[in-house]
Amino acid sequence: MPEVNINGIEIHFPFEPYKVQYDYMHKVIECLQKGENGLLESPTGTGKTLSLLCSSIAWHLVKKAQIQASAQGYNIIETKDGDFVTSLRQNLETSTGKEVQPWCNIMMSPKIIYASRTHSQLSQVVAELKRTNYSHVKVAVLGSRDQMCVHPEVMKESSSSAKIISCQLRVSARSCHYYNNVESKKSDPKFTETIMDIEDITKLGKNMQCCPYYLTRELQQSADIIFMPYNYLLDVRHRKALDIQLSNSVIILDEGHNVEKMCEESASIELSSTDIALCITEVTQVMKKVHDQLTNNVEGAPEHAKDFTLEDLCILKTLFLELEKSVTEISLDRNSDGMVGKHFKGSYIFEFLAKSEITEDKINIVRDILLKVSQYLQTTSESPLRSKGSGLQKFSEFLQVVFASKGYYNTSEVTDSAYKVYIEPETKNDNQNSWSKTSVNKNAKIINFWCFSPGFGMRSLLEQGTHSVIITSGTLSPLQATITELGIPIKVQLENPHIIKPEQICVTIIKKGPGNKELNSSYRNRDQPEYLQDLGQTLLNYARQVPDGFLVFFPSYQVMKTSVDHWQQSGQWSKISEIKPIFVEPKEKENFNNIMSEYYNAIKVGNSRGAIMLAVCRGKISEGLDFADARGRAVMVTGLPYAPFKNPRVVLKREYIDQNRKTNNQALTGAQWYDLEAIRAVNQAIGRVIRHGNDYGTVILCDERFDRTSTINTLSAWLRPHITTCNTFGPSLKRIITFFRTIGDVMPSRSINNSEGGSFDYAVDIKTKALQAKKEDEENQNKARNNEFKTFLEQMKSVTPSEKIPFDKSQGLFEALNSNEEYQSTAAYNPLTATAEVQNLIEIKDQVQPDSKKRKLKLVPLKFYNPGEQASSSESLIFNSSQSVENYLLEVKRTLDSNKYAEFQFMVKNYRQTEDYSIMVSSLAKIFFQ
């Protein structure tokens, strides 16, 4: 492997790096050597993650050697090799940057904590690490019990909180043999000398009867690099639960474009009247159980009495009753927009809890009792329909977040500087906790404890003594605004260009549609029929020119639904579907993998014209899925995805930012933040189109508001030089036609099968891959059946005219064909009522949505018959129902395109005249299989 020397650090890279990769690694080394924080933007496809891994690990290994040399150097400095040792130590200290303090000599080198958004993205990073020259480093991958627990009884629990409690009980009682084996297995080379992702270590742990969850916690103690989702890192609850040590660590936040939002969400929490009612119910259940045990002298009662007493339970129930009363007494206001709610400064939460005697000096005692009562409920609940302590668990987490808001210096002023309390009515929710028997009443409320400062979470990392924090992504622009929001000093910055050539990307802002209507997806305009019609025509025209995959992003699910409804009613949907099948991003997670699999397969099939995926900005599709090469040749953004303007959290965030602006004129205004949030979501959606250096595609921004200078300047830096604005539709269409006609002369045609995109820069869900494999198997089976049917047709060519199949004379095939012209193409299909042999011949299978997509002919195994034997039977192979003939012909018409259907009509007419069965069979084979 080539070696690259950057500031004295020898980096093993798989190939000679591009300039953007060299520049990126240089900035990483600068952060690590100087102990500075960095914000590094490099577009998807530029080898960002590979550069990040190689440079950071190379520095880490030198740092490790420095500490070892320092320790050894002090011991042998007086030997004859003293000059060499001193020189070696000085060189190592120079290359790693920071001088080693004496107290560091006995410590391990800084760990690298590598965090990304999801486990699937981390799996891609781990896979990339395996292919580098650094595959020998020690690695730990942290996950949740949901992903890593292998105990069958724990995994039966329906909720995460129940799994946590069940696990903790078994661990404390040492009744989990998987956990008991951790100590003896943690040094096994199978675990320590192999790089494994979560799937690997879970499988191995199960085979070796060892708990993967607790094993990874042990492995992180000696690991060089630890992988985890970044909510584990930013959420104080996860950090403490997983015992994540940040002192002297290098923190890398990959895919960090969401880090501000994650900082806020991980430090925020809510508590509802329903939650409090559930806590009262759970405590009451325990009081009754303990009372019955003590009264009846049930075996085991003394053991439970050691954990808590009836007096403890009475105090706890009184606490919750007082809390419930305090919530009920809060009066809410109605604003001019009709919204009901009330907000307070952050420290109000402490006043609220103090009314129920919950204060800082009592918090540890209260949480300890909550934990013990939750565990008791877990062990004694005999019915799956009874609560198992989830309400008490949630309240304990609420207290943890609330009192952690005082920050490192434990003052309520810190809470006021970062938080607000918002109280609103509680409405009935379908996802409401099913354990609660209390219905939502008119006085029920939700207490929202919202963090509005990303800097609060970021500063909490620095306060733990971190060495450096590096935030990186393909979409961080504008950097200065991001730095302002993060609220920590960031001296090292980078905005990398792309490695693609200018002719590989075409970016167009289109201000008007084909009907000369302004394309503007603002709140006032997005429901107007004229706008929706012109947007549909815009998509229709572009779909004719864009090859392969076409991604269309809407500002929200509601806007997408409104557009789809209009297009289906106006007939535009069916017109677009004739060009490419349309798929829609589902809101539910359950259907997501199936939809993605169908989309990929629609592009993958031979002679495919591609497919269209309608998606949503900030949705799952916009966050890192694989749309390299044929999977995504175009991204069309239909509007700016602004957050709901009157949403209480958005309103309070804008007020919070404007308030901070008064003391820091370099900070953003509330309006600037609001605009930036929309642009960041657009940048992330645009990032789907170019996934590697040999990829190409077009970006179409269909909203006149994109043409504002302030908006263009906040788009990704690599994209800006390629933007052209078209005031009318014609020139924009011409640009795209020209782009795809000329790109073939510059770039080779690439298919979905040989895509190089996303060796690690995007994450494809493992389940999607499994579905794709299953689909391929089905396609192979269908091909085999097609071949079998062709063979059958060849055999049938030898059938003599006397053995030909007669038809019901009450209505001939031709008459049925003519009468069928008046049927609509959307008529329902009914199975043929002919004999079994004809029924088994061809079975029409519906495709997955949409309805307008062509149907497939799925061939099923055939049952051969003896023509001579069947000739004597008046029932054999006769269409004895004219309705069945009509339905069959209707299905033929829906299946074939207009040219093939015309051939079919001619074949039927010819058969009536010649009664030549062998010609008919040959014609059918040609129509359906060529």
Taking only the tens place, the pLDDT of each residue in 6-35 is: 999 999 999 999 999 999 999 999 999 999
Beta bridge partners of 144: none
Length of the chain: 930
β strands within 653-804, DSSP E: 697-701, 723-726
User: Would you state the pLDDT for residue 324?
Assistant: 95
Beta carbons of 644 and 608 less than 8 angstroms apart: no
Q: Decide if pLDDT at 525 tops 90.
A: yes
Q: What is the pLDDT of residues 874-923, one digit of tens each?
A: 333 333 444 455 566 666 776 777 667 777 777 777 776 676 666 777 77
pTM, rounded to two decimals: 0.76
State the CB neighbour count (10 A cutoff) for residue 848: 14
Percent of the chain whose predicted confidence (pLDDT) is above 70:
75
What CATH number belongs to 1-137+230-257+467-498?
Answer: 3.40.50.300
- What tokens does 403 get? 């009192």
CA 376 to the chain's CA centroid: 36
Q: What is the pLDDT of residues 228-277, one digit of tens each?
A: 998 899 998 889 888 899 999 999 999 888 899 999 999 999 999 999 99
- Lowest model confidence (mean pLDDT) among 478-487, 489-498, 544-553: 478-487
**Backbone CA torsion sign across 831, 834, 836, 839:** negative
Residue spans of the domains in the chain: they are 1-137+230-257+467-498, 267-462, 502-754, 769-929
Residues 6+ apart with CB under 8 A from 536: 563, 566, 567, 570, 572, 573, 576
Beta carbons of 758 and 124 less than 8 angstroms apart: yes
Q: Crossing angle for the helix pair 198-207 and 212-222, nearest 10 degrees? A: 120
Q: CA of 735: how far to CAs of 638, 698, 700, 726, 740, in Å?
A: 18, 10, 11, 10, 9
- What tokens does 622 get? 């916009």
Q: Decide if pLDDT at 98 tops 60.
A: no
- What tokens does 581 get? 């099948």
Beta carbons of 614 and 554 less than 8 angstroms apart: yes
Evaluate the omega torsion of the peptide bond into residue 497 and state whether it is cis, within 30 degrees of 0: no
Measuring CA to CA, which residue among 450, 482, 462 is closest to residue 260? Answer: 482
User: Would you state the pLDDT for residue 812?
Assistant: 38
Residue 97 vs residue 902, higher pLDDT: 902
Q: What is the pLDDT of residues 566-584, one digit of tens each?
A: 999 999 999 999 999 999 9
Q: Decide if pLDDT at 797 tops 50.
A: no
Q: What is the pLDDT of residues 801-813, one digit of tens each?
A: 444 334 333 343 3
Residue 905 vs residue 346, higher pLDDT: 346
Binding residues for [4Fe-4S] cluster: 149, 167, 176, 211
Q: What is the pLDDT of residues 511-520, one digit of tens each?
A: 999 999 999 9
User: Would you state the pLDDT for residue 753?
Assistant: 55
Are the folds of 1-137+230-257+467-498 and 502-754 the same?
yes
Q: What is the pLDDT of residues 733-762, one digit of tens each?
A: 999 999 999 997 777 665 555 554 443 333
Binding residues: 149, 167, 176, 211
Q: Candidates 3.40.50.300, 3.30.200.20, 3.30.499.10, 3.40.50.720; correct CATH number of 502-754?
A: 3.40.50.300
**Highest-pLDDT range among 332-336, 469-473, 621-625, 818-822:** 469-473
Single-letter amino acid code for the residue at 195: I
Q: What is the pLDDT of residues 163-213, one digit of tens each?
A: 888 898 889 889 999 999 999 988 898 888 889 989 999 999 999 999 999
User: Would you state the pLDDT for residue 473?
Assistant: 92
Q: What is the Cβ-side half-sphere exposure of residue 157, based on CA atoms within 13 angstroms?
A: 23
**Highest-pLDDT range among 344-348, 410-414, 471-475, 900-904:** 344-348
**Average model confidence (pLDDT) for the chain?**
80
pLDDT tier, 785 (very low <50, low <70, confident <90, very high otherwise): very low
Q: CA of 702: how far to CAs of 531, 715, 726, 734, in Å?
A: 11, 15, 10, 15
pLDDT tier, 293 (very low <50, low <70, confident <90, very high otherwise): confident
Q: SS3 for 608-651, per residue?
A: CCCEEEEEECCCCCCCCCCCCHHHCCEEEECCCCCCCCCCHHHH
pLDDT tier, 764 (very low <50, low <70, confident <90, very high otherwise): very low
